[in-house]
């Protein structure tokens, strides 16, 4: 057999061109007008399959601009290169014939034979067939007439042809994923959401709604779509859709274990163990806008429960206390909002408290555990931002570990995976959302980017460096400070104390950041955690992933994945 892969064995150009041609087809489908519900669901399902192909190609660096001229370093592409190219040719052909009235499929007898064959049978046929014999078929209908296309799609859906061809497409892409898995952990297949047009567009609420209904096909993407739909929806719309006028709870808390100035504390509520997150606001600032924002956060927390990667605790609602109510004096000048999270019976401990007493928590802060915490936090930030949800309070105080009574008896691992709390100041990542002033302290400011010290300032321009308005990059900077703490086993305040004992150090937010980047991370963190971890931490502290406008928001998410999330996946003890 003569392989047409051998002519480009030293490059990925042919495969890259084929993949790009496949992805370009999706832009044609996006322009269909007057599509009905069945057509919209079909288009969203097609987007999901193409996103899987896009992500597979990205992880293999087939369409990576940084490595476009680098040979794919895997022997499978030499042995099975012809089959892989044939797979992509057949995927492209199928995309161009989704509305075709014919049932033939190149190499295979028909659509049914193509998708009912098992992966080994398909691989054998594609490996031992020259595509040149079917070359003419791949270009037919490549530029279908847009006029009347919606009608042809409706007809193809009605007679089942479109679904049959979509099943062929799904089988072919799944074969590529399973037979030629890219380097790295298998769960990275969930990264396809980073390039899914329905999730990454800023102008596609309807596509989010349709994608959220695809839970039986892609539960992760469907859940993330629902969360993003929640995040960009107005609170009044959420109330109507949920049938709930308020997330406010009415029963009182047992407050015996609550320190007067505590932001977080545990207690009992209606017979269940709870972690309480307090938000204290001036009496004059307690208005309907603030109440609606709190309710929006509760809706988001509830919508996030099916997404394990976000590491949020189950939230049941909030309590609101005004002066004269439930322990507050009528003369008090402040009001209190308290967000209620359910936790296992036992205790909670913050990452900050662990690091401060690291000798006591050596099993929980072993090298392998610290790498694991860093991986979990980076993924949570990635998917929060995909959902257009800014945290605004990422720091070690807001990384919580829960210990059940059963696990507390096992000294080897008293705490499980971390949870992220501190959402009391979070908001949607949108220029149309007001920026709420968050409580400021010297210690909190250590985790904030130098451009957003103290109360953030609302502005119409969301790009870092031009404004004090909070952005995704500012969350990433906070992650970088937390990664530094994990690497050094020192809290940010302990790092500052050490700096103040050195000569010629004058504390400013910029000087603090510069010392982390130039002194602590390249030397101490690199020595303790390795160079990859140190490079990731510096990249987060530089906080430049979303610094400039891009044509496609997917680019920044993929950059964060490539330079932070995937790199931390390589860090193992």
pLDDT per residue of the chain (573 residues) written in tens, 0 to 9 = 344 444 444 446 788 889 999 998 877 776 666 678 888 888 889 999 999 999 999 888 888 655 444 555 577 777 788 889 889 999 998 998 888 877 788 888 888 888 888 999 899 888 887 765 555 444 444 445 555 677 788 888 888 888 999 999 999 999 999 999 987 776 666 788 999 888 876 656 778 888 888 887 888 999 999 899 888 876 656 654 554 545 666 556 665 445 555 688 888 888 888 899 988 888 887 777 778 888 888 989 999 998 999 999 999 999 888 888 877 888 888 888 889 999 986 788 999 999 999 999 998 999 999 999 999 999 999 999 999 899 989 999 999 998 865 555 555 467 788 999 998 665 555 444 444 444 457 888 999 999 888 744 433 333 333 344 788 999 999 999 999 999 999 999 999 999 999 988 999 999 999 999 999 999 999 999 999 999 999 999 999 998 766 555 678 898 999 999 999 999 998
Cα atoms in the Cβ-side hemisphere of radius 13 Å centred on 140: 15
The pair phi, psi for residue 31, each rounded to 5°, is: -95, 5
Q: pTM (2 decimals)?
A: 0.86
Residue 196 falls inside a structural domain: yes
**pLDDT, position 34:** 66
Residue 88 falls inside a structural domain: yes
**pLDDT, position 470:** 83
The reply to whether 428 and 556 lie within a common domain is: yes
* Cα separation, 416 vs 400, whole angstroms: 10
Residue 62 falls inside a structural domain: yes
Which tokens go with 48? 């999901």
What's 562's domain CATH number? 1.10.510.10
By C-alpha distance, which of 195, 231, 210, 25 is closest to 552?
195
What DSSP line would sit under 238-293, residue for residue?
Answer: HHHHHT-S--B--SPP--TT--TT-SEEEEEETTEEEEEEEEEEEGGG--HHHHHH
The reply to whether 216 and 362 lie within a common domain is: no
Residue 226 falls inside a structural domain: yes
Domain stop point among 232, 267, 299: 232
The reply to whether 35 and 179 lie within a common domain is: yes
Domain stop point among 202, 232, 262: 232
* Cα separation, 370 vs 210, whole angstroms: 39
The reply to whether 367 and 515 lie within a common domain is: yes
The position carrying tokens 């070690």 is 396
The position carrying tokens 């997404």 is 307
Please check whether residue 267 is in contact with residue 326, taking contact to mean a CB–CB distance below 8 angstroms.
no
Residue 323 falls inside a structural domain: no
Domain stop point among 232, 266, 292: 232
* Cα separation, 319 vs 277, whole angstroms: 10
* Cα separation, 70 vs 352, whole angstroms: 43
The reply to whether 378 and 498 lie within a common domain is: yes
By C-alpha distance, which of 220, 82, 108 is closest to 167?
108
* Cα separation, 92 vs 16, whole angstroms: 13
Residue 311 falls inside a structural domain: no
What's 98's domain CATH number? 1.20.120
Q: Give the count of domains, the chain.
A: 2
Query: In the beta sheet, which residues pair with residue 349?
Result: 401
Contacts of range 506-509, beta carbons closer than 8 Å, 24 or more positions apart: 508/450, 509/445, 509/448, 509/449, 509/450, 509/453
* Cα separation, 88 vs 443, whole angstroms: 54
CA angle 296, 297, 298 (to 5 degrees): 90
The pair phi, psi for residue 501, each rounded to 5°, is: -85, -10
Which tokens go with 111? 């659509």
* Cα separation, 275 vs 446, whole angstroms: 25
Q: List, edge to edge, every strand of the sheet that includes 419-420.
A: 346-350, 399-404, 419-420
The pair phi, psi for residue 280, each rounded to 5°, is: -100, 125
* Count of other CB atoms within 10 angstroms of residue 135: 13
Residue 317 falls inside a structural domain: no
* Cβ neighbourhood burial of 324 (10 Å; 0-12, 13-18, 19+): exposed
Q: Which bin fits 421, alpha (ψ -120 to 50), beta or left (φ > 0)? A: beta
* Cα separation, 435 vs 422, whole angstroms: 16
Query: Among the residues of 7-68, which ranges form H helices?
Result: 13-29, 37-59
Residue range(s) defining the domain that contains residue 18: 6-232
Residue 292 falls inside a structural domain: no
């Amino acid at each position: 057999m003569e392989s047409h892969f051998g002519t480009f064995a030293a490059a990925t150009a042919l495969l890259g061109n084929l993949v790009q041609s496949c992805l370009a087809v999706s832009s044609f489908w996006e322009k269909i007008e007057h599509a009905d519900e069945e057509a919209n669901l079909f288009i969203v399902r097609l987007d999901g399959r193409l996103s899987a192909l896009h992500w597979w190609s990205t992880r293999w660096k087939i369409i990576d601009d940084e490595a476009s001229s680098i040979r794919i370093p895997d022997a499978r592409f030499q042995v099975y290169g012809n089959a892989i190219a044939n797979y992509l040719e057949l995927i492209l052909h199928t995309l161009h014939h989704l509305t075709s009235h014919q049932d033939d499929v190149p190499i295979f007898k028909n659509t049914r034979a193509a998708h009912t064959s098992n992966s080994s049978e398909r691989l054998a046929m594609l490996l031992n067939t020259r595509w040149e014999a079917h070359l003419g078929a791949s270009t037919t209908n490549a530029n279908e007439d847009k006029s009347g296309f919606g009608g042809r799609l409706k007809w193809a859906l009605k007679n089942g042809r479109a679904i049959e061809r979509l099943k062929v497409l799904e089988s072919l892409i799944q074969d590529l994923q399973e037979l030629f898995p890219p380097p790295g952990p298998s769960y990275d297949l969930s990264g396809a959401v980073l390039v899914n047009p329905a999730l990454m567009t800023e102008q596609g609420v309807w596509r989010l709604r349709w994608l959220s209904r695809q839970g039986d096909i892609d539960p992760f993407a469907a859940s993330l779509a629902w969360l993003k739909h929640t995040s960009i929806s107005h609170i009044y719309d959420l109330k109507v859709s949920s049938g709930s006028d308020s997330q406010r709870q009415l029963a009182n808390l047992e407050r015996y274990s609550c320190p007067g100035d505590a932001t977080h504390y545990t207690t009992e509520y209606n017979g269940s163990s709870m972690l309480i997150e307090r938000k204290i606001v001036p009496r004059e600032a307690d208005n309907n806008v603030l109440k609606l924002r709190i309710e929006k956060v509760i809706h988001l927390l509830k919508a996030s429960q099916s997404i394990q990667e976000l590491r949020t605790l189950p939230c049941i609602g909030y309590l609101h206390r005004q002066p004269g109510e439930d322990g507050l004096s009528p003369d008090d000048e402040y009001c209190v909002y308290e967000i209620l999270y359910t936790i296992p019976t036992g205790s909670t401990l913050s990452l900050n408290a662990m690091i401060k007493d690291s000798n006591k928590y050596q099993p929980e802060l072993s090298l392998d555990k610290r790498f694991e915490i860093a991986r979990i936090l980076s993924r949570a930030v990635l998917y929060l931002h995909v959902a257009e949800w800014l945290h605004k309070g990422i720091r070690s105080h807001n990384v919580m570990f829960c210990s059940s009574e059963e696990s507390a008896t096992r000294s080897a691992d008293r705490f499980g995976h971390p949870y992220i709390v501190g959402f009391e100041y979070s908001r949607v990542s949108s220029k149309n959302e007001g920026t709420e002033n968050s409580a400021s302290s010297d210690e909190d400011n250590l985790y904030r980017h130098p451009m957003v010290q103290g109360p953030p300032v609302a502005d119409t321009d969301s790009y870092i460096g031009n404004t004090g308005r909070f952005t995704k990059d500012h969350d990433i900077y906070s992650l970088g400070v937390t990664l530094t703490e994990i690497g050094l086993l020192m809290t940010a305040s302990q790092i500052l104390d050490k700096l103040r004992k050195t000569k010629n150090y004058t504390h400013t937010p910029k000087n603090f950041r510069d010392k982390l980047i130039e002194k602590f991370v390249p030397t101490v963190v690199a020595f303790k955690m390795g160079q990859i971890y140190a490079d990731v931490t510096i990249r987060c502290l530089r906080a430049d992933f979303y610094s400039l406008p891009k044509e496609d928001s997917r680019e920044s998410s993929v950059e964060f994945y490539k330079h932070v999330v995937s790199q931390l996946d390589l860090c193992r003890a």
